[in-house]
Amino acid sequence: MTQHSETLQLACDLISRPSITPEDAGCQELLISRLEALGFTIERMQFEDVSNFWARRGTQRPLFCFAGHTDVVPTGPVERWQSPPFEPTFREGYLYGRGAADMKGGIASFITALERFIANHPDHQGSIALLITSDEEGPFINGTTRVVDHLEARNEKIDWCIVGEPSSTDEVGDVIKNGRRGSITGTLIVRGVQGHVAYPHLVRNPVHEAAAALAELAAEVWDEGNEFFPPTSFQISNIHAGTGAANVVPGQMEVVFNFRFSTEVTADQLKERVREILDRHKLEWDIDWVLSGNPFLTAAGDLVEASRAAIHSVTGINTELSTAGGTSDGRFIAPTGAQVVEIGPVNATIHKIDERVRVKDLDTLSDIYENILARLLAR
């Protein structure tokens, strides 16, 4: 039987636990046992059905934190996987399994990097922490945001944070996410008057009335972006109206849309501009807004520089800084004043059937994490 590295063995142990969000399936206790052996103090934080823990070694600042999640998205049709999604399988240089890239592989790399770093630097500067949740792939209500609120209430501040999300594009370390766009979703209700299609003078069709406003919203230039962020985008994701009958004019229409927005505009400014457009078209409307997160940016500083230098030292890659992609739990940590970056595996197969990660990549990632720790905390 092939002997795999400590990182790969731990990744396999984690993948084998079916931790579909918000379930943890014992992943966190496995991690806690490794961390307690390294001298970490553990705080388990259970909020509703979500498992979280905060682990810390040391009491002084600066405080370096690894942040991640043990939950995974559902597998999709199991019969379409080449091998069972919760049976880690090695095939043609890849490790297959749900969570291999997002993000059990990254968490395994956290742990083994820490084990080596602490063995070599038992009296390191400052403190090291881990913030682990089982709610990143779910509603994100009782996960990282609740832990951060708890830390803020006692003025426990993170200085540097690496989120182990799969940030890389082609090779491990080729991209660092040094920020993310904000995300806000609106559910718009446009009301009309229902009736028979043969009597248009007795109805008000909300689809007809809203069409011009929706076209204007889609064509609007919300901002021009900046050197770190692309322009803010507006996308309609769902539209529903009607009873299903061909001869009934609907009484209302529901439109769900989303903004991914840059630091050039605020959520409140977007709401106001949407209101102005809807009112200009004289619609009868209501909107429910859900703000998933504001944009954040770590443009420069110790963490970015240490990360770039570590990646180059381990891989020879001159990494690219990027704010593209979806949201991450970094959006809850950055507002506390922490420098936050995302460094993790290649993201090509995340959330897909046959999710996988290159076998060699997890050891490389672990080496990168250890190198960053040494640059920031070694005496």
Instruction: Kindly write down the DSSP assignment for every residue of 215-269, as one continuous string.
Output: HHHHH-------SSSPPPEEEEEEEEES-S-TTEE-SEEEEEEEEEE-TTS-HHH
Asked if 309 contacts 375 with a C-beta cutoff of 8 angstroms, the reply is yes
- Catalytic member of 23, 102, 115, 136: 136
Asked if 255 contacts 188 with a C-beta cutoff of 8 angstroms, the reply is yes
Distance (Å, whole) CA 164 – CA 106: 5
Which amino acid makes up residue 213?
A: A
Q: Which of 164, 111, 135 is nearest to 341 (CA)?
A: 164
- Catalytic member of 71, 102, 165, 370: 71
Asked if 224 is an active-site residue, the reply is no
Asked if 136 is an active-site residue, the reply is yes
- 104-120 vs 27-36: helix axis angle to the nearest 10? 10
Give the other-Cβ count within 10 Å of 206's Cβ. Answer: 26
Asked if 95 contacts 159 with a C-beta cutoff of 8 angstroms, the reply is no
Catalytic residue positions, numbered:
71, 136
